[in-house]
Chains A and B, each alone.
Chain A
């Protein structure tokens, strides 16, 4: 077993990020998209923590990760409000139905 290095953690972060993006692009369910958003945010968080452990970033990295968690929570609240409104208007959570802005 090699030592766990920065690059491994960055790989995890990247995999989480990409999964999140894929989830956002492919999920029809609105809540699913929100899950993707969470994954993206968490992937970014992992990156921050990794850099906090292995570089000179130090504690700042961890503080930023806290910020991001709080932001993610707030943003999730807002996003859920949006999803609720979406449901009120379209009576479904399938985002493909919200294409009235086509041109």
Chain B
């Protein structure tokens, strides 16, 4: 048993650390070779490609160890696998928690999760900070997905970034102070070094076995995102966007840290899974909060943490040794989710993602559609056991709001990358909604399928931008399918996937249909159980239609119709094979990765790792609210209906787009004029940027100005007046010294001189006078002496 976990952890560790080694080499590669060499790219692609091979090997290893149970036919009532087993334990506990409607079919002699510690960084009393790993089917799946998509994007970037292979690159969007375009050496190698660093950070995040490690890699992906968005450092807009991305993420991280602090204080550990310490098994966070039966034990206002181990099951001891107030558990969950809001660009922190399109397109494809922004959703899924019902409801609502806002803005956006950016935000909202509604596997299913079709679409848009010589505005495109057939076709695959279209009465559908369908079904089941939260079903349904609309708008506007700008159309050309091949590969995945839908291999792999208690218990829970999360059975019941209405919404959206943009029966321009107020509101992105500017940026600037003035006038003024006082004292002192003291001394001198001068009268130099004086003095002396002698 130890072996398999050990082997898996080594495969994944290697896959994780290879890009770091690549980064270390590539960062200096620019100095070893000239700027025309593609060595850095080959190295980076090699590292991440090897990572993919290792991840696949790990998956195969894991699969064969579990006898491919993941793909065995499962009963539709769901399968519950106990999610936490310590690596070295084999427990034969009873399946006796039959108090819930569970059709448990788990075999506890096999383990679904492998966890352990790689390195202990520090011990502070009872608290430890370690580097851990946590490997379950979700981890393996994420590794494979991330490495595969990253490899495709690296290959694409070799072609896309090829104009950096020069000693003098002219940047047409950046200007020097005298109005000239900026000339600078090419930075091909640096791009790939940042990409390697990013891959290292992302894989580390996925592999992490404790929440603090997640936070470390969270920040690291944020840094890489900053570096990559600001890749064209000479452009002011890129720098602003990079700052905005990082700062907005930081706001979310503030919540994350609060959550970390609360958990550290009350639970005493950051680890997800249980661990061995001196032969004594310590519960991890998941066991502590949820126990082996997936329930949160409350006692009045407090939650009792499960710290006792009975026959391999974690229970709450009778006199609780660790409790956490329920409210603080909610706060912790919201805090950690706050980080997810920042990272996954949910409302209200969604403003950074559209601006992040300043980075090169491969960055947008990798970082801002498939991986980094998915990290928030991944964490929400991973950390699900610690979220209480209130937190899940908040997650659902935030996802719901986000998906709606972003979809409406995408309807009017004209920059091809912006449309995709808003689409990403919207789909991330879908994923969060899915998770918040209790559809854990549905949300993560959508994560995987979205990664494929969104990165595909970003790469296609990159191909378009490259082919049209860096033209990004759709009003200048049109009719491009004739010139770029491969790009057009693969883009169409992606658009159909995201719209969730399928051919009814058959099971022919691309991946997006299945995953979106799963979420909508969960939403419908949730609404059935909690009718008061009906918006959580209606909004995603309507937005599915809007999604189809704006995606097809994008496709029709760009690729069909008459070319709107002759210059762009003439020079447009299909991209080279190095860029088209990844598109084709990704389109195959985007179309077929979710074959089989909810019974397919992908969904099975995800739901194999479902946390304990998901999709089983429909009792309303929660101390302040009363929300019942739907069970697998309920979801399965409403699935057909949900599928039909979702498909209907998507079809309506598609048809509307076709009517407006393909065979234009209605001129979109007229509609724009009719609803010009609404249009301008949407074009200005619901004025969030202005709102934040007024609410946060300007007050900060005025506080900063106040501080500057305080510093300049008050503090410096104080110091200057001190200096002036010293100078004044010195002047007075000098006057005193010169006037009085020197005066006294001089007076003494003058007096002496005067006396001397007056006495010099006697010195006439005349001899006779001197003789006279002598004689007179002698006589006087005699007289005096005689006077005394006679007296005496």
Contacts and interface: CB of A to CB of B under 8 A. Distances in A.
Interface residues of A, number: 15
A1 B764 CA distance: 50
> Which of B760, B766, B767, B775 has most A Cβ within 10 Å?
B767
B765 interface: yes
B123 interface: no
A25 B771 contact: yes
Nearest to B756: A103
B767 A103 contact: no
16 contacts: A24-B768, A25-B768, A25-B771, A26-B768, A28-B768, A33-B767, A33-B771, A95-B766, A95-B767, A98-B765, A98-B767, A99-B766, A100-B765, A101-B763, A102-B763, A103-B765
Contact of A25 (B760, B764, B765, B775): B775
A98 B768 CA distance: 10
Interface string A89-101: 0000001101111
Interface residues of B, number: 10
B766 to A, nearest CB: 5
> Which of A25, A26, A100 has most B Cβ within 10 Å?
A25
A101 B766 CA distance: 8
A7 B470 CA distance: 148
A21 B775 contact: yes
Interface in B751-777: 760, 763-768, 771-772, 775
Interface in A7-49: 21, 24-28, 33
A103 B768 contact: no
Contacts of B765: 98-103
Contacts of B768: 24-28, 33, 95-96
Interface of A: 21, 24-28, 33, 95-96, 98-103
B781 to A, nearest CB: 15
A77 to B, nearest CB: 19
B interface majority secondary structure: helix
A27 B771 CA distance: 11
A102 B760 CA distance: 8
Given A25-B771, A99-B765, A102-B765, 9 more contacts: A24-B771, A24-B775, A25-B775, A27-B768, A33-B767, A98-B767, A99-B766, A102-B763, A102-B766
B790 to A, nearest CB: 19
Contacts of B764: 99, 102
Contacts of A25: 768, 771-772, 775
A21 B607 CA distance: 148
Contacts of B766: 95-96, 98-99, 102
Contacts of A33: 767-768, 771
Contacts of A26: 768
Contacts of A102: 763-766
A95 B764 CA distance: 12
Nearest to A37: B771
A27 B766 CA distance: 12
Which are the 8 A-B pairs with shortest beta-carbon distances? A99-B765, A102-B765, A103-B763, A101-B765, A103-B760, A25-B772, A95-B767, A24-B771
Contacts of A103: 760, 763, 765
A89 B767 CA distance: 16
A101 B767 CA distance: 10
A89 B548 CA distance: 136
A102 B769 CA distance: 12
A53 B771 CA distance: 32
A90 B349 CA distance: 116
